Structure 1
Amino acid sequence: MTIEPLLALMAALRDPETGCPWDIAQTSASIAPYAVEEAYEVVDAIRRDDAGDLRDELGDLLFQVVFHARMAEEAGRFTFADVVGAIVAKMIRRHPHVFASDGSPVPAGSALRDPGAVARQWAAIKAAERAGRPERDPGPLGGIAHALPALSRAEKLSARAATYGFDWTDPADVIAKVREETDEVADALAHGTRAELTEEVGDLLFSVANLARHLGIDPEYSLNSGNMKFERRFTAMAARLAANGTTLEDASLDTMETAWTAAKRAEKES
């Protein structure tokens, strides 16, 4: 199936006389949170390796794109075709190792084949694009979306700073920085104010995001994996307590620690 039935469906939903009252009442601002939610649900389906859910969640995310494009078209700003044209042109521009400027394929054997070199080329092209247009946030770190999750934004800020040479050369140095920031949190806990403690915890989280970048790990993805592991093990711990006739509310910390260790060991053995 092509995209046309979805575009027609969206137009029908937004029809002022016969459409859906809820859809008609929406604005780009009112549905913006759904785009974020649907993107996270796509990532969750990928993480669970659930092809059926991934198909459905990609559809939900695509629907958000079509919804925003339809409202923009109604306002005379741009159309869905403009969205497609803009991203095709951008991808051609950012892949000179695959496409010539007219979109035709480059000759075989003349393209970059090293992923690292491709990533550096991509970053350079993006930097040139930023230099050629007015920045929403002027300055060397401008253009990094404020709506990103804080951990992801920390990784992107440190990555941008690294393009100017402001970076460590060895992950071991970043680990030392994490330890330094941990010590500063401990000092703030012992002697500082609440505001100072909050600031030091932020510095610690920023340095951990920096470490993830140096190790080639997405910090947001990594933390989500840690969340899922904790949830899985906590649930298994509760099940062990229940099997022994104990509830979470009634169990002592030592009892919970014992059940946690057993759940952790069982998970590793399986």
Structure 2
Amino acid sequence: MNSKKNQLQAFERLLTIMDELREKCPWDKKQTIQTLRHLTIEETYELGDAILDNNLNEVKKELGDLLLHIVFYAKIGSETNDFDIADVCNEICDKLIHRHPHIYSNVVVADEEEVKQNWEKLKLKEGKKSVLEGVPKSLPALVKASRIQDKVKGVGFDWEELHQVWDKVQEELEELQVEVQEGNQDKIEAEFGDVLFSMINYARFLNINPEDALERTNKKFIKRFQYLESKAGELGKPLKDMTLAEMDVFWEEAKKL
């Protein structure tokens, strides 16, 4: 691996290239913090895909793309004299030192869980009125539910036993069924949301990331359905003209691959 000196040289090289692009490239010159936002989100999802695929070469490339965005934002900030890359680095360094008193001070912790609890307590002392302030509003709902549950757990608001969480899942399923029978669409949606929230909570107790689990199922379904499409194509028969029984034959084949 590269030495610390080489790592710093590589980072300096990126900063220099960013300066040159901002000065000379017509596209780069036009970008603002606002125009970069959706591109940054896209790059983050691409990194997520590479991580799920466990493709470390792609992870390396996508990390580079994200790092470029961070440097780009900092460059724009320096042009308006609001902040530069040194400010960004120092800000996160100061935060890490402050949030890790068990490393940089005399606080003693027993395990990872106490570290998380101290983290949330420190954030409240920093002026946050709620432990949930740090959950981005624009997060996808499933990811947001996970983060909400992690946050409140950090201040002790949590179930104690796994069976309690499963009991809650079953309770929410029963409530959903009642509303389905009643036929009130608004209440059905509300109860369905409660079921999903409780399942995400259950996943947390099983040490499963629900987003990763669902994406794994998505990929599995796509692979099997595309196999079905290819087999239908070999027969020269559109899927819409096939019976469910005919499609199920190929679906079962796909499950064995």
TM-score by length of 1: 0.81
Q: Which amino acid aligns with 2:205?
A: H
SS in 2 for 1:249: helix
Aligned partner (choices 20, 32, 38) of residue 33 of structure 1? 38
1:190 has 2:185 as partner: no
Q: Which amino acid aligns with 2:65?
A: D
SS in 2 for 1:147: coil
Instruction: Give a deviation string over 1:21-61, Cα, whole Å, max 9, x none.
Output: 33222221221122221111112112222232222111111
Task: Work out the CA distance in 1 between the residues paired with 2:63 and 2:156.
Answer: 38
SS in 1 for 2:78: helix
SS in 2 for 1:141: helix
Aligned partner (choices 182, 191, 198) of residue 200 of structure 1? 191
Q: Which amino acid aligns with 1:167?
A: D
Q: Does the CA-based 8 Å contact 2:116-2:154 persist in structure 1?
A: no
Q: Which amino acid aligns with 1:124?
A: N
Aligned partner (choices 140, 149, 173) of residue 140 of structure 2? 149
User: What's the % identity of the aligned pairs?
Assistant: 35
Q: Would you say how many aligned residue pairs link Structure 1 and Structure 2?
A: 249
Distance 1:139 1:94, change over 3 A: closer
CA-CA distance at 1:76 after TM superposition: 1.0
Task: Work out the CA distance in 2 between the residues paired with 1:57 and 1:165.
Answer: 36
Q: Which amino acid aligns with 1:13?
A: L
Instruction: Give a deviation string over 1:67-114, Cα, whole Å, max 9, x none.
Output: 1111111111111011112223333344445x435xxxx9xxxx87x7
Q: Which amino acid aligns with 2:150?
A: A
Distance 1:100 1:141, change over 3 A: closer
Aligned partner (choices 19, 22, 25) of residue 27 of structure 2? 22
Instruction: Name the residue aligned to 1:50.
Output: 55
Distance 1:87 1:189, change over 3 A: same
Distance 1:140 1:63, change over 3 A: closer
1:92 has 2:100 as partner: no
Q: Does the CA-based 8 Å contact 2:43-2:66 persist in structure 1?
A: yes
Q: Does the CA-based 8 Å contact 1:95-1:122 persist in structure 2?
A: no
Where structure 1 has 5 or more consecutive residues not aligned to the other structure, the ranges are none
Q: Which amino acid aligns with 1:83?
A: V
Q: Relative to total residues, which structure has the larger helix share, 1 or 2?
A: 2
Moved over 4 A (4+): none
Q: Does the CA-based 8 Å contact 2:124-2:130 persist in structure 1?
A: no
1:2 has 2:10 as partner: yes
Task: Work out the CA distance in 1 between the residues paired with 2:164 and 2:112.
Answer: 27
Q: Which amino acid aligns with 1:27?
A: T
Task: Work out the CA distance in 2 between the residues paired with 1:31 and 1:201.
Answer: 35
SS in 2 for 1:43: helix
1:176 has 2:167 as partner: yes
Aligned partner (choices 125, 130, 139) of residue 124 of structure 2? 130
Instruction: Name the residue aligned to 1:73.
Output: 78
CA-CA distance at 1:166 after TM superposition: 3.1
Task: Work out the CA distance in 1 between the residues paired with 2:253 and 2:48.
Answer: 30
CA-CA distance at 1:243 after TM superposition: 4.2
Q: Does the CA-based 8 Å contact 1:94-1:122 persist in structure 2?
A: no
1:209 has 2:200 as partner: yes
Task: Work out the CA distance in 1 between the residues paired with 2:53 and 2:20.
Answer: 34
Distance 1:86 1:215, change over 3 A: same
Distance 1:123 1:69, change over 3 A: farther
Q: Which amino acid aligns with 2:153?
A: A
1:121 has 2:129 as partner: no
Task: Work out the CA distance in 2 between the residues paired with 1:88 and 1:12.
Answer: 27
Instruction: Give a deviation string over 1:112-138, Cα, whole Å, max 9, x none.
Output: 7x7xx13421431342133222x3xx3
SS in 1 for 2:241: coil
Task: Work out the CA distance in 2 between the residues paired with 1:51 and 1:161.
Answer: 33
TM-score by length of 2: 0.85
Q: Does the CA-based 8 Å contact 2:165-2:198 persist in structure 1?
A: yes
CA-CA distance at 1:193 after TM superposition: 2.7
CA RMSD of aligned residues (A): 2.5
